[in-house]
């Protein structure tokens, strides 16, 4: 005998069928009943809170004052750490000498004692000499550092990259002279805020994000499905505002802590849940909440029964008709079925695009890791997002990057050198342009340790050889002078000619030795300038007279265009005279016999520009690029066998850059060359000094 099974009642239709009217109607009635009951509970909680509002305002205002006082004490402590570090013996001298290893050791010693999150030393040129730990934040651009460099200790609250940080700076003094600044950084984290708040619930809000909070608020913020928060200002000064985190609401007392920080500022909030213990569903009247749930369930069951009866009637009517009648869309749910199919198709498309993007990112990582140079990619806030294997190796990072890479990186379109892990890294940064402007920075790291060591050894060799050659050459030239000055006629004409040749070549070798010494001093940073206002016009005339023998030998004429009214420049008179002599000697060497040399002086903005123009063979575009390099001699000079060491223009460039000036050349092959030097004009305060 075959046993028949009674069909099981189902709330949901099989896949592919539309949901029934019974389910829709039951859910609708249950939701209406639940909303009405919960609304009554919310109104009850609000009435209770209104009755306790004065006491709540007084308690939260006192809590806000306590937290703000503790945070102000933290600012004072951070400033005291900066001032204590600035008073360390030896730190001013290390900063002035740009001695990064010594500066870093002194900072680390202070950090072990005072335990600040970050310490940094900054010189008068806004350069971060050292920081512990190393950082790529633009510290020198902050207001406290600017104040410290003029002798004032200050603090500020900085809002950057979704964090609130106390930044304190103290002047670094060498006697009575300010030689730099020491900066201390203290981030206000959850632990710092919890220690300040004690038993109160407190948070720091930046924009619509919580960046630091006590445990209760942090838990609510983490559990929220929609992390951005909503905060409403108090209706009147001194009253409470409201903070909403997901479905939780808090009455809060607020205080702006931005203290001049860039927008958005930091807002301190101290609050308590609106519903007493903060949970709507743990309200004081649990019986009402239970009754609301039971009523919603009964309403849902009643709606399901009514909907089932109506649905069965409609189904019988449809089956009995020769032309089936479609149910209205709001009851049949065809739109929901179409929406579900569209969402499924969209999810599949998104999954395919995500897989393709992940594959492309994987290929990009493999390509970057195959590059021998280190590559670092950071966003607009200089937070590092990507590094390749070479960069991690050069910076001493192990494994994958799980936190920001700390490095002293140059600004966009600039280069610098980093000394780290016993290496010398040359870096260059360039902006990453997006549709609306720069979106980040890419930095390339090149290991220049061996090049740096080779350059150091070469300079030491040149310095030693130059010093060793200078003494015998001076003796040779002196002996030749003594013999040539013999007035008793004991030298024959041939002997006099040989001695003159010895004297001339000895002077030439002494000039070459002096040039080599100047180059090594400039590259090692051992040239110090005695800066004072210098009038260029008489100095140019003096330099021309000093080289008159050179011009007279070739019958060259020198035309001077030195107008009145060009202000003095700020520089070292002896070094500027050396610049002019090298430019004039270079022009005299390449100007043909009976040629013409022009020297002009003009003012251009805040600079004075000296130009030396010759009518020699000129320079090709390739020669113009390298003409200021050491030991480089142009193709024309080699072809014409012109004498020269290739050091004069290299010395000119180094001395001009040491004066914060600029040197350049303009030339057309066959039509001469014009070398120009731009030097800053002395200001009124420079002349008073």
Do both 498 and 624 map to the same domain? Answer: no
In this predicted structure, what is the pLDDT of residue 27?
Answer: 74
Q: Of the residues 279, 303, 323, which one is the last residue of a structural domain?
A: 279
d(CA 107, CA 180): 14
Q: Answer whether 306's CB lies under 8 Å from 25's CB.
A: yes
- 591 lies in the same domain as 645: yes
CA distances from 472 to 155, 317, 399, 509, 676 (A): 61, 124, 59, 11, 37
| Statement to judge: residues 557 and 539 lie in one domain | yes
Same domain, 301 and 380: no
377 contacts 386 by C-beta, under 8 angstroms:
yes
CA gap 344, 585 in Å, rounded: 81
Q: In the prediction, which pLDDT does 369 show?
A: 80
Q: Are 561 and 665 members of one domain?
A: yes
SS3 233: coil
* Within a domain: 58: no
Residues facing 128 on adjacent strands: 122
Say if 178 falls within a structural domain: no
Contact 288, 34 (CB under 8 A): no
- Same domain, residue pair 512 and 463: yes
pLDDT score of 530 = 82
User: What local confidence, expressed as pLDDT, does residue 541 receive?
Assistant: 92
* Kind and range of the H or E run holding 486: none
SS3 425: strand
What is the pLDDT at residue 597?
93
Last residue of a domain, which of 398, 423, 447?
447
Residue 232 lies in a domain: yes
Q: What count of other Cβ atoms lies within 10 Å of the Cβ of residue 618?
A: 21
Same-domain pairing of 417 and 318: no
- Cα-atom radius of gyration of the chain, to the nearest Å? 40
Q: Which is nearest to 659 in space by CA: 533, 537, 544, 563?
A: 533
Task: Calculate the CA 189 to chain-centre distance.
Answer: 22
Using the 8-state DSSP alphabet, how is residue 142 labeled?
Answer: S
Q: What are the phi and psi torsion angles at 510 (to 5°)?
A: -65, -40
Q: What is the pLDDT of residues 79-111, one digit of tens each?
A: 888 888 888 888 888 888 888 888 888 888 888
- Residues near 374 by beta carbon (within 8 Å), at least 6 away in sequence: 387, 388, 390, 391, 392, 393, 394, 395, 425, 444, 445, 446, 447
SS3 609: strand
Residue reference for tokens 């049949």 = 332
* Residue with token string 């020269």: 644
Distance CA 445, CA 432 (A): 16
For 150-175, give the DSSP string: TT--EEEEEEETTEEEEEEEEEEEET
Q: How far apart are CA 551 and CA 120, in angstroms?
A: 55
Task: Flag whether 402 is in a domain.
Answer: yes
The residues, ordered by sequence, that sit 6+ positions from 155 with a Cβ below 8 Å of its Cβ are 75, 76, 78, 79, 144, 166, 167, 168, 169
624 located within any domain: yes
The verdict on 519 and 577 lying in the same domain is no
What lies within 8 Å, CB to CB, of 678 at 6+ separation is 604, 607, 608, 609, 656, 661, 662, 663
CA dist 92 and 88 (Å) reads: 8
Question: Does one domain contain both 547 and 607?
Answer: yes
Closest alpha carbon to 372 in 472, 307, 447: 447
Query: Which residue range(s) make up the domain with 497?
Result: 451-523
Provide the domain count of the chain. 5
User: 123 lies in a domain?
Assistant: no
At 422, which CATH number?
3.30.450.20
With a CB cutoff of 8 Å and minimum separation 6, the contacts of 609 are 601, 602, 603, 676, 677, 678
By residue count, the chain amounts to 689
Kindly give, in sequence order, each residue whose CB lies less than 8 Å from that of residue 353, ignoring residues fewer than 6 positions away: none
Task: For the chain, report the end-to-end CA distance as a whole number of angstroms.
Answer: 121
Q: How many whole angstroms separate alpha carbon 645 and alpha carbon 422?
A: 35
Question: 12-42, pLDDT tens digit by residue?
Answer: 444 445 556 667 666 777 777 777 777 666 6
Q: Which residues does the chain have with pLDDT short of 50?
A: 1-16, 261-263, 276-283, 316-333, 335-337, 401-407, 638-641, 688
Phi, psi of 319 (to 5 degrees): -65, -30
214 domain-assigned? yes
Burial class of residue 620, CB neighbours in 10 A (0-12, 13-18, 19+): middle
Measured N-to-C along each axis, helices 573-590 and 648-658 cross at an angle, to the nearest 10 degrees, of: 150
Same domain, 678 and 540: yes
Q: Is the dihedral of CA 459, 460, 461, 465 positive or negative?
A: positive
Q: What is the pTM of this model?
A: 0.37
Shared domain for 575 and 659, answered yes or no, is yes
Structure tokens at 174: 């060498």
Could you tell me if residue 2 is inside a domain?
Answer: no
Query: Which CATH number goes with the domain that contains 671?
Result: 3.30.565.10
Are 536 and 675 part of one and the same domain?
Answer: yes
Q: What is the pLDDT of residue 308?
A: 65
Domain final position from 396, 431, 447: 447
For residue 508, the 8-state DSSP code is: H
């Amino acid at each position: 005998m075959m046993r028949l099974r009674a069909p099981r009642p189902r709330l949901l239709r099989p896949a592919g069928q539309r949901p029934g009217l019974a389910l829709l109607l039951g859910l609708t009635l249950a939701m209406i009943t639940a909303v009405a009951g919960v609304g009554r509970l919310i109104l009850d909680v609000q009435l209770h809170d209104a009755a306790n509002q004065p006491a709540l305002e007084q308690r939260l205002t006192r809590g806000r004052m306590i937290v703000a006082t503790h945070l102000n004490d933290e600012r004072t402590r951070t400033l005291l750490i900066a001032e204590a570090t600035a008073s360390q013996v030896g730190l001013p001298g290390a900063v002035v000498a740009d001695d990064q290893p010594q500066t870093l050791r002194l900072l680390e010693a202070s950090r072990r004692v005072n335990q600040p999150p970050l310490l940094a030393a900054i010189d008068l040129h806004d350069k971060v000499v050292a920081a512990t730990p190393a950082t790529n934040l633009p510290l020198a651009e902050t207001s406290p550092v600017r104040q410290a460099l003029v002798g004032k200790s200050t603090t500020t609250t900085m809002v950057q990259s979704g964090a609130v940080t106390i930044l304190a700076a103290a002047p670094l003094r060498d006697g009575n002279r300010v030689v730099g600044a020491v900066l201390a950084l203290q981030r206000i984290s959850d632990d710092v805020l919890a220690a300040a708040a004690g038993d109160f619930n407190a948070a720091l809000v930046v924009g619509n994000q919580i960046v630091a909070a006590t445990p209760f608020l942090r838990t609510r913020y983490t559990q929220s499905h929609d992390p951005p928060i909503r905060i409403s200002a108090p209706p009147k000064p001194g009253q409470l505002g409201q903070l909403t985190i997901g479905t939780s609401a808090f009455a809060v007392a607020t205080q702006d802590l931005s203290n001049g920080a860039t927008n958005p500022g930091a807002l301190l909030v101290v609050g308590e849940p609106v519903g007493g213990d903060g949970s709507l569903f743990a309200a004081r009247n649990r019986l009402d909440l239970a009754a609301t749930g039971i009523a919603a369930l009964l309403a849902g069951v009643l709606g399901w029964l009514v909907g089932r009866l109506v649905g069965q009637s409609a189904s019988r009517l449809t089956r009995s008709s020769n032309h089936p009648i479609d149910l209205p869309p709001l009851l049949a749910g065809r739109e929901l079925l179409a929406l579900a199919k569209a969402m499924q198709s969209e999810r599949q498309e998104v999954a395919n695009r995500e897989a393709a993007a992940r594959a492309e990112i994987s290929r990009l990582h493999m390509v970057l890791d195959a590059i021998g140079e280190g590559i670092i990619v950071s966003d607009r806030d200089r937070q590092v997002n990507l590094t390749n294997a070479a960069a991690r190796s050069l910076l001493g990072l192990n494994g994958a990057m799980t936190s920001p890479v700390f490095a002293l990186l140059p600004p966009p379109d600039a280069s610098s050198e980093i000394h780290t892990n016993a290496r010398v890294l040359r870096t260059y940064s360039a902006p990453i342009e997006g549709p609306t402007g720069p979106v980040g920075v890419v930095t390339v790291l090149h290991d220049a340790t061996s090049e740096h060591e080779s350059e150091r050894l070469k300079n030491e060799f040149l310095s030693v050889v130059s010093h060793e050659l200078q003494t015998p050459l001076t003796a040779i030239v002196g002996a030749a002078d003594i013999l040539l000055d013999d007035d008793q006629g004991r030298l024959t004409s041939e002997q006099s000619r040989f001695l003159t040749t010895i004297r001339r070549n000895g002077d030439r070798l002494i000039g070459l030795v002096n040039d080599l010494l100047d180059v090594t001093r400039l590259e090692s940073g051992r040239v110090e300038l005695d800066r004072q206002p210098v009038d260029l016009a008489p100095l140019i005339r003096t330099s021309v007279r000093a080289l008159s023998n050179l011009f007279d030998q070739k019958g060259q004429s020198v035309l001077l265009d030195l107008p009145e009214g060009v202000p003095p420049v700020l520089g070292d008179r002896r070094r500027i005279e050396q610049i002019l002599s090298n430019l004039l000697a270079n022009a005299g060497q390449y100007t043909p016999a009976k040629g013409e040399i022009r020297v002009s002086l003009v003012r251009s903005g805040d600079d004075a520009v000296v130009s030396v123009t010759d009518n020699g063979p000129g320079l090709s575009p390739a020669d113009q690029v390298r003409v200021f390099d050491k030991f480089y001699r142009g193709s024309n000079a080699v072809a014409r066998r012109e004498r020269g060491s290739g050091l004069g223009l290299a010395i000119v460039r180094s001395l001009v850059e040491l004066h914060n000036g600029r040197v350049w050349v303009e030339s057309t092959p066959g039509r001469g060359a014009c070398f120009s030097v731009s030097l800053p004009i002395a200001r009124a305060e420079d002349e008073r000094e």
